[in-house]
A and B are shown apart, each in its own frame.
Chain A
Amino acid sequence: MPTSETNDFFHGSVGVVQTNIVTFESLTLEGGETITPLEIAYETYGTLNEKKDNAILVCHALSGDAHAAGFHEGDKRPGWWDYYIGPGKAFDTNRYFIISSNVIGGCKGSSGPLSKNGKTGSTFQSTFPFVSIGDMVNAQEKLVRHFGIHKLFAVAGGSMGGMQALQWSVAYPDRLKNCIVMASSSEHSAQQIAFNEVGRQAILSDPNWNQGLYTQDKRPSKGLALARMMGHITYLSDEMMREKFGRKPPKGNIQSTDFAVGSYLIYQGESFVDRFDANSYIYVTKALDHFSLGTGKELTKVLAKVRCRFLVIAYTSDWLYPPYQSEEIVKSLEVNAVPVSFIELNNPAGHDSFLLPSEEQDSILRDFLSATDEGGFF
């Protein structure tokens, strides 16, 4: 995979960064329960200007976290969107103040199943309340207000991050100027729910599952690894897999994996277990599956509230979030006369395309943000 340095359209790095945690008194969830206290892990890059109108919130996908750009002390690999965030990059830290936070329900520092329950003093685990995409966005809104920002210059995200961006546009229509939705959907199809269900069932059937009340030294690691393997298949494309693995090397081994793609998936699954929590996997995939702004006329009605410009990007090779789902969002926005640009990029990498370096994606993100449209449609 090319790195930031090998692509001439990608420039600097934000350097060494660290994740911070801010604590709020509480957050009442859509389901009625309250998280007390509410903790949010976040990183920022660039400088918030005096008018506080240059902030961009980037929202991460399922297994992402607050670390979107730059390097943590001692790390070899940068944050998940380092190709696009940094000085001179599309999300130019010389111009914009970038905020990335870990979603609630996650396991990378924000309130979630690994947090301590104030009432009992022990870890929530599967007693943590159900969390929705709307709740994740409401938590982000608290963080944004914490910085004294009334109106975000943009909210951007891919996959689950795209759902959060969409949710922002309808939950807080006057609080963002631009909305960027990539490789995403207004609701999961039965197929998308099906993939997530297989992942969850893998975890639930792990001998260590214990209804989610497992100990850290006896975790449902095998189940979580299987869930991740399943996920990885859906993130890539047929073409990418063929190119990367082909059919080699078929040795006819009955006892263990004998194809390169199998070894790759096993590696991805096993390394995921070290950095993710099985309960969080269930919480976050459920949030994804439950999210729905509707489709067709229902979606059009919901999106009538929005008051920002939109950029929607889909990828031809993405079969997990196929382009028709992006187009559905675009059409519903267009019926509401919302200013929206839609592009379907022909990147071969499948659903993961939005994370990878692409000259077209770089220029379209950069230009969409640069081309401020003061007149507007509204």
Chain B
Amino acid sequence: MNIHTNEALGLDLKNRPDISYIANLIKPGERVLDLGCGYGELMLILKNKGVRVQGIEKDDKCIIQCVKKSLYVHHGDIDDGLKHHLDHSFDFVILNQTIQQTLNPGDIIKECLRIGKQVIIVFPNFSHWQIRTSILLSGKTPVTDLMPFHWYDTPNLHYLSGKDFEDFCEFERIKILHRAFFNRTRQIKLFPNLYATLALFVIRA
């Protein structure tokens, strides 16, 4: 999870439609791996629901906060920290606003599909109309409240839209089980690639 974004938006996660959507997908007792779990807000929601959740995070400040919440976190880098996990050992692997920050998103998604029976991917939708117009009008890399960084200080290495992700899944023959789009307060059903700030996909191999 992108901690900077959450802080910048000052959002209460529990009331966020994308978070409740994820929480509704996962049943108590299921095993979940949260990649880039940040301060563990999503993990805590899932844990309180009875989900067996563990995380990976590279920021040590985040790990300390997770331990405070009685969450189990591995201090490490997703780019090389998944190999030991056995095939399909998790019911869900979650990439909540993480994938755009990894070095090799394609490889990581394939690795997630190996260790998770299902994979939940959430990312900022780069084709949101505000971003489109911002680039068009200013001719500069957009700085929005969802992606509040400059080109020189952003943790985001990749920018993708819902459509980009669907193309990727088609090319890689990855099965899309669910797709949902959100802005900060609600689910977006009409022209989501234009109006949604967040895109969520549930996929499996």
Verify if B89 is at the interface (C-beta below 8 Å from A). Answer: yes
Verify if B76 is at the interface (C-beta below 8 Å from A). Answer: yes
Given contacts A340-B72, A371-B69, contact A335 B86 (CB under 8 A): yes
Contact partners of A16 in chain B: CB under 8 A = none
Given contacts A335-B89, A371-B69, contact A363 B60 (CB under 8 A): no
Verify if A344 is at the interface (C-beta below 8 Å from B). Answer: yes
Verify if B112 is at the interface (C-beta below 8 Å from A). Answer: no
Among A311, A340, A342, A360: residue with most chain B CB under 10 A: A342
Q: Are A331 and B60 in contact (CB under 8 A)?
A: no
Contact partners of A375 in chain B: CB under 8 A = 50
**A151-B175 Cα distance, complex, nearest whole Å:** 48
B130 to chain A, nearest CB (A): 38
Q: Are A334 and B85 in contact (CB under 8 A)?
A: yes
Q: Are B84 and A341 in contact (CB under 8 A)?
A: no
Contact partners of A239 in chain B: CB under 8 A = none
Q: Are B60 and A341 in contact (CB under 8 A)?
A: no
Verify if A127 is at the interface (C-beta below 8 Å from B). Answer: no
Q: Are A346 and B67 in contact (CB under 8 A)?
A: no
Q: Which residues 268-311 of A sit at the B interface, judged by CB distance below 8 A?
A: 309, 311
B196 to chain A, nearest CB (A): 34
Verify if A37 is at the interface (C-beta below 8 Å from B). Answer: no
Contact partner, A368, options B60, B67, B86, Cβ 8 Å:
B67
Q: Are B64 and A364 in contact (CB under 8 A)?
A: yes
In this complex, what residue of B is CB-closest to A345? B60
A106 to chain B, nearest CB (A): 32
B108 to chain A, nearest CB (A): 17
Verify if B63 is at the interface (C-beta below 8 Å from A). Answer: yes
Residues 43-82 of chain B, each 1 if its beta carbon lies under 8 Å from chain A, else 0: 0000000101010000010011011111111111000000
Verify if A22 is at the interface (C-beta below 8 Å from B). Answer: no
Q: Are B67 and A367 in contact (CB under 8 A)?
A: yes
Verify if B117 is at the interface (C-beta below 8 Å from A). Answer: no
Q: Are B68 and A371 in contact (CB under 8 A)?
A: yes
Residues 315-343 of chain A, each 1 if its beta carbon lies under 8 Å from chain B, else 0: 00000000000010011101101011111
Residues 74-115 of chain B, each 1 if its beta carbon lies under 8 Å from chain A, else 0: 111000000011100100000000000000000000000000
Verify if A372 is at the interface (C-beta below 8 Å from B). Answer: yes
Verify if A30 is at the interface (C-beta below 8 Å from B). Answer: no
Contact partners of B63 in chain A: CB under 8 A = 341-343, 364
B35 to chain A, nearest CB (A): 13
Verify if B31 is at the interface (C-beta below 8 Å from A). Answer: yes
Q: Are B75 and A343 in contact (CB under 8 A)?
A: yes
Size of the chain B interface, CB-CB below 8 angstroms: 22
Contact partners of A327 in chain B: CB under 8 A = 76
Q: How large is the interface on A (under 10, 10 to 19, 20 to 34, 35 or more residues)?
A: 20 to 34
Verify if A377 is at the interface (C-beta below 8 Å from B). Answer: yes
Q: Are B76 and A342 in contact (CB under 8 A)?
A: yes
Given contacts A334-B84, A360-B60, A360-B64, contact A342 B73 (CB under 8 A): yes
**Chain A interface SS verdict (over half):** mixed
Residues 3-17 of chain A, each 1 if its beta carbon lies under 8 Å from chain B, else 0: 000000000000000
Contact partner, A377, options B52, B68, B85, Cβ 8 Å:
B52
Verify if A373 is at the interface (C-beta below 8 Å from B). Answer: yes
Contact partners of A368 in chain B: CB under 8 A = 67
Given contacts A335-B84, A340-B72, contact A364 B67 (CB under 8 A): yes
Contact partners of A339 in chain B: CB under 8 A = 54, 72
Contact partners of B67 in chain A: CB under 8 A = 311, 341, 343, 364, 367-368, 371
Q: Are A337 and B69 in contact (CB under 8 A)?
A: no
In this complex, what residue of A is CB-closest to B65? A367
Q: Are B72 and A341 in contact (CB under 8 A)?
A: yes
In this complex, what residue of B is CB-closest to A331? B84
Q: Are B60 and A346 in contact (CB under 8 A)?
A: yes
Contact partners of A343 in chain B: CB under 8 A = 60, 63-64, 67, 73, 75
Contact partners of A360 in chain B: CB under 8 A = 60, 64
Among B31, B73, B76: residue with most chain A CB under 10 A: B76
A244 to chain B, nearest CB (A): 25
A159 to chain B, nearest CB (A): 19
Instruction: Using CB atoms and an 8 Å cutoff, list the residues of chain B in contact with chain A.
Output: 31, 50, 52, 54, 60, 63-64, 66-76, 84-86, 89
- Ordered nearest first, which 5 A-B pairs have the shortest CB separation? A371-B70, A331-B84, A367-B68, A343-B75, A343-B63
Instruction: Using CB atoms and an 8 Å cutoff, list the residues of chain A in contact with chain B.
Output: 309, 311, 327, 330-332, 334-335, 337, 339-346, 360, 363-364, 367-368, 371-373, 375, 377
